[in-house]
Amino acid sequence: MTDTTPSSADAALLTEVAELIVSALNLEIAPGEIEADAPLYGEGLGLDSIDILEVALVVSKRFGFSLRADNEDNLTIFSSLRSLSDYIAANRTS
């Protein structure tokens, strides 16, 4: 199976990460309502820094790698569902 967009997470991973976010934060929206390219902070999904820490924890546990609070790329990693999923696809161990 060939992925025509190797730098972009597949739909299954996008869905899985959206489900993790909704579950971890007890959001009152369906995972499918999270737009892949909408911001996770502020006007997009409306997450704050505590929410992002929760998401980082569940992602780390689920995919077997650590998301560190002092990573200078965190603003990019957590900028959207797609960017987070792309980062997971590139770094996951499970």
Q: Express each pLDDT in 53-94 by its tens digit.
A: 999 999 999 999 988 888 899 999 999 999 999 999 999 987
- Output 7 or 31, whichever has higher pLDDT: 31
CA distance 14 to 88: 10
The label of the residue with tokens 């990573």 reads 71
| pLDDT computed for residue 60 by the predictor | 93
The one-character DSSP state at 44 is: S
Distance, in Å, from the CA atom of 49 to the CA atom of 40, rounded to the nearest integer, reads 10
- pLDDT score recorded for residue 69: 81
Q: How far apart are CA 82 and CA 52, in angstroms?
A: 15
Give the domains, in start order, of the chain with CATH numbers: 11-26+35-91 (1.10.1200.10)
According to the model, what pLDDT value does residue 58 have?
A: 96
Instruction: Give per-residue pLDDT as tens, 3-25.
Output: 444 446 699 999 999 999 999 99
What is the rounded end-to-end Cα distance, in angstroms, of the chain? 19
